[in-house]
Structure 1
Amino acid sequence: MAAEIPGETFESPLLASHSPSLLHQISEHGGYAYVSMYTLGAGGDHRAAEAAREMAWEQLHSGPWNSVLPVWRDAYSMACLLVAKHCCAVGEYKEALRVLDLGVIMGGLTLRKDLDDAIAITKAKESGACSISEGNEGKRVLVDAEFNLKEMLQLLPKQSLSCKLVGKRPALSLEAFLRDYFLSASPVILSDCMVHWPARVKWNDINYLKKVAGSRTVPVEVGKNYLCTEWKQELITFSEFLERIQTNDSTSSVPTYLAQHPLFDQIPELRKDIVVPDYCYTGGGELRPINAWFGPAGTVTPLHHDPHHNILAQIVGKKYVRLYPASLSEELCPHSESMLCNSSQVDLDNIDEKQFPNIQNLEFMDCILEEGEMLYIPPKWWHYVRSLTTSFSVSFWWSELENSTP
């Protein structure tokens, strides 16, 4: 059933064609109340549409994310489209954008194109109805202040920058990358590879970021890191996130971090500012989702490893990165829980030497990843990352073909 909302809204062809079968599936899984509210909402009842969205939201949070039935994710997308239509009909474009973004972040893939198209139309209407406030001309995300390495070393894990530094190669050819690093699974810093990216200039401009993404809703992490008990997640607008970054002190114990989020799928305008490095096609495999990492100084990603090849592109600011080879996995004591088995129990910021007496003797590589540089991290290499300044990074993950030579 297609929504018949009066006023100026947007078309949803996938919703029109899929809603009968989706509503039938939802009914089969006990969602009779949802179907009733959705039907009333499609007939023009805004409160009923909101009630349907709340019902789907409750189903999304009824257990572990991987246990949620896919049809309830699609149900949430359906309700988000319906609520957004009601909002647009009365000129509430910011609220419509918020709801549509939630549909993208939490919903299923069946109606994704409808959501993306609705966001583009609604954002254009919202931009026409209001403008970014003046007064930030020339203001940058980063404070133009001298970087004090000696002071920063006091905040880094013990022995930082005292052992083997990651090598740096300017304008490395694909052949040399394959021969010297990819096949041997060795980290390397790739410099002079993104001088032509628009992001190098644009992402330092607060006005640009607010114009492109300010009204969009994004998921952020609040707290030291995901292994800490006080850690939590929030959904806030990008403008609010930028404000938190500007007011955050590097000594704050509860920074806000936009971490490992497919921001460029959600906001294609930002995707135009970057280029997938040619290195990511080494091995002939598959490119994974491109993720954003954006936050103030002091954000930490604890020691962990990933299953894919990774190029971490440092577009704004500086980061400290420490790496341990996959051969040291047992010594780094992974968590036993399946959800955290790729994370180490060792807190490099506060090492318990009684529990982990040999950690300080393990060899590692580390570096300060400068603005404009990329770091290649091979699969299964353990890495700890800390932002030394306000930092905006992009990670490109890719997997090689199963039959390729490691």
Structure 2
Amino acid sequence: MKLKQIERLKKISKEDFVSHYVKHQIPVVIEELTEDWPAYTKWKLSYMKEIAGHLTVPLYDDRPVNHEDAFNEAHTHMKMNEYINLLEEKPTNYRIFLYNLMKQAPSLKNDFLWPDIGLKLVKQLPMIFFGGENSKVFMHYDIDYSNILHFHFHGEKQCMIFAPSQSKYMYKVPHALISREDIDFDNPDYEKFPALKNAEGFITNLKHGEMLYMPEGYWHYMKYLTPGFSMSLRSFPKNISNLSKAAYNVLIMRHFDVMMRKIKGQKWIDYKNEKAIRNTHQHLEKTF
């Protein structure tokens, strides 16, 4: 894969952010956007345990998609204080993924400021993500094609992202939002997945308080280099085509996929994985 470092800035005006990055759908890291937030000093694992330790939270691991799973169904549940103890003790694959923790612990809303950065952010959807050392979030893109402001806290996290134009190389699984789950994006097998050699993307390591802007429909693969957590704020897509794709994903695609899992079981999952390879390699043959 051809990866280049994401551009980094200390600060930016909302006018420059919109005109240079949102308008052209270019990712960027803003390093000091959160320095005046209470969260900048407060948001550590110990604080999260204090505020939300009593809550039971959904956890995901890196097991492959199973036909018996509902859409984004959690693999297990655990008390937040027990989960954070686990993060601090040893590496674990268990992650909290796309969870509205602030609905259960509303005092967290007082710890951050909604950025005045030129995007109309959805106030109901500040989503939280947690992960242990070396845990990975599979390569995927978001169902709603939103513009994402992704803030990281406590530790360091690696982010690898690709524009929607690179989907033809990503071994996209049909009727889903993911690449084939057997691809190791840290060390791709180019003999099995040769199209990945043509994929052009971006990479960066986010540290405490830094924000990554991910434009609409960007593929992303995340790896926690240390235990830590992140928060995403989102703005609905501005591109009409992406808005239509988001509506299709939410209203039709995910329900069709759930139905086919119930009807065909594991055969449906196997068919989609095989189709991902056939579709990608057919396109590769036409291109080269």
Structure 2: distance between partners of 1:218 and 1:352: 35
Structure with higher RCO (Cα < 8 A, 6+ apart): 2
Does residue 256 (structure 1) correspond to residue 98 (structure 2)? The answer is: no
Give the equivalent residue in structure 1 for 2:125.
289
Contact 2:169 2:198 in 1 (8 A): no
Q: How many residues are paired up?
A: 235
Give the equivalent residue in structure 2 for 1:218.
57
CA shift for structure 1 position 288: 5.5
1:146-173 superposed Cα distances (whole Å, 9 cap, x missing partner): xxxxxxxxxxxxx7xx842100112100
- The 5 A counterparts of 1:377-388 are 377-388=214-225
1:215-268 superposed Cα distances (whole Å, 9 cap, x missing partner): 1111112x326648999622221111111111223xxxx522111101111210
The one of 118, 129, 134 equivalent to 1:298 is 134
- The 5 A counterparts of 1:324-339 are 324-336=162-174, 338=175
Does residue 270 (structure 1) correspond to residue 108 (structure 2)? The answer is: yes
Q: Which amino acid aligns with 1:169?
A: L
CA shift for structure 1 position 353: 2.4
Structure 2: distance between partners of 1:200 and 1:170: 15
CA shift for structure 1 position 365: 1.2
The one of 178, 181, 195 equivalent to 1:343 is 178
1:298-329 superposed Cα distances (whole Å, 9 cap, x missing partner): 12111111211001001221111111111111
* Other structure's SS at 1:218 match: strand
Residues 379, 400 of structure 1: CA spacing in aligned structure 2 closer, same or farther, 3 A cutoff? closer
The one of 19, 30, 43 equivalent to 1:179 is 19
- The 5 A counterparts of 1:49-64 are none
TM-score (norm 1): 0.53
TM-score (norm 2): 0.73
CA shift for structure 1 position 349: 3.8
Q: Which runs of 5+ in 2 are unaligned?
A: 244-288
Q: Which has the higher strand share?
A: 2
Contact 1:285 1:400 in 2 (8 A): no
Structure 2: distance between partners of 1:169 and 1:225: 36
Contact 2:45 2:154 in 1 (8 A): no
Q: Which amino acid aligns with 1:383?
A: H
Q: Which amino acid aligns with 1:234?
A: T
1:65-121 superposed Cα distances (whole Å, 9 cap, x missing partner): xxxxxxxxxxxxxxxxxxxxxxxxxxxxxxxxxxxxxxxxxxxxxxxxxxxxxxxxx
Structure 2: distance between partners of 1:205 and 1:300: 18
Contact 1:225 1:300 in 2 (8 A): no
CA shift for structure 1 position 286: 4.3
Structure 1: distance between partners of 2:108 and 2:11: 25
CA shift for structure 1 position 366: 0.7
Residues 211, 323 of structure 1: CA spacing in aligned structure 2 closer, same or farther, 3 A cutoff? closer
Structure 2: distance between partners of 1:240 and 1:391: 15
Structure 1: distance between partners of 2:89 and 2:100: 25
Residues 349, 285 of structure 1: CA spacing in aligned structure 2 closer, same or farther, 3 A cutoff? closer
* Other structure's SS at 2:213 match: strand
CA shift for structure 1 position 179: 0.6
Does residue 241 (structure 1) correspond to residue 80 (structure 2)? The answer is: no
Contact 1:321 1:366 in 2 (8 A): yes
CA RMSD of the aligned region, Å?
2.8
Q: Which runs of 5+ in 1 are unaligned?
A: 1-158
Q: Which amino acid aligns with 1:377?
A: M
Q: Which amino acid aligns with 2:97?
A: A
